Amino acid sequence: MATPELTSLRSPRVTAARRLAKRSFRGKERRFLVEGPQAVREAIAHLVEVYATPEAAARHTGIVEAARASRIPVLTASDDVIAEMSDTVTPQGIVGLCRFLDSPFEEILRARPRLVAVLANVRDPGNAGTVLRCADAAGADAVVFTDASVDPYNPKAVRASVGSLFHLPVATGVPVEEAVDGLRTAGARVLAADGAGERDLDEELDDGVLGAPTAWIFGNEAWGLPEATRALADEVVRVPIHGRAESLNLATAAAVCLYASARAQRAPTGCRSVTGT
């Protein structure tokens, strides 16, 4: 087995990588870390360097070969070095240093998106990453993180996205008013997802209006959307609770709403809810 090239925890590379755990340093350097073979594989087009233990490099030869074919340096590192770079309790032996990949909001609008998720005041990185993953799975055209939301490059958000961060355009730091105005001007109907909504998702489906280009606004995990944000939307829509559950968490509600829109947009003659009469 080859001797690791990086063994000192005081190495400038290790120190620089570890600093990226803080949002301020990520923003300054416009760099972030991804951990594990799946995330590194998905991030190939955005990688600056790859660090792997000799064992991980031997186990994931496809990733190493793809990185080197793209002229991305691959450095072997000791277990201690990888653990120092990692944010997880049990590192998987491979870490990638990536460039920021957010898209300008204006560029997203020029593409006339049909389905967009807007995260307004979403603070939990795990929830944010999961909503991003749901948006990707539902075939959304973009995800917009408002200026009051968590950083999508937060290590927990990156992990929770399970590679989806690299699959669709993501805009960051957009004021919610600007996001709503821009998306509406681009032709999208703006819906705020909130448990206190006057309309429910079944009504939207039954009325056949979800097939139009739609931007869904999802709010904070604990207190939802403030009145000022709800007032910006064309409609405030709740997910109907047919059983005895008090509510749905953010990621689950987002998945239901995004998939309802995706189904309606793909239906040749509209879409009715499964609970409709």
CA distance readout (Å), 154 to 110, 125, 130, 183: 28, 7, 13, 26
125-161, pLDDT tens digit by residue?
999 999 999 999 999 999 999 998 999 999 999 999 9
Of how many residues is the chain composed?
A: 277
* CA atoms of 28 and 20, how far apart (whole Å): 10
Could you give the CA distance from residue 222 to residue 198 in angstroms, rounded to a whole number? Answer: 20
Task: Give me the amino acid identity at 107.
Answer: E
Is the pLDDT at 2 greater than 80? The verdict is: no
How would residue 178 be classed by pLDDT, with cut points 50, 70 and 90? very high
Whether residue 68 has pLDDT greater than 90: yes
> Average model confidence (pLDDT) for the chain?
92
Res 268: pLDDT: 65
The 10s digit of each residue's pLDDT in 9-40 is 999 999 999 999 999 999 999 999 999 999 99
What does the alpha-carbon distance between residue 175 and residue 67 come to, in Å, rounded to a whole number?
Answer: 36
Long-range contacts from 1-5, C-beta under 8 angstroms, 24+ separation: 1/54, 1/55, 1/58, 2/54, 2/76, 3/54, 3/76, 4/53, 4/54, 4/76, 4/77, 4/78, 4/81, 5/75, 5/76, 5/77
Check residue 275 and give its pLDDT: 43
Q: What is the pLDDT of residues 240-269, one digit of tens each?
A: 999 988 888 999 999 999 999 999 998 865
pLDDT tier at 5 (50, 70, 90 boundaries)? confident
Across 36-50, 101-115, 217-231, least confident range: 217-231
Confidence of residue 276 (pLDDT cuts 50, 70, 90): very low
Domains assigned to the chain: 17-99 (3.30.1330.30), 105-266 (3.40.1280.10)
How much is the average pLDDT of 120-127? 94
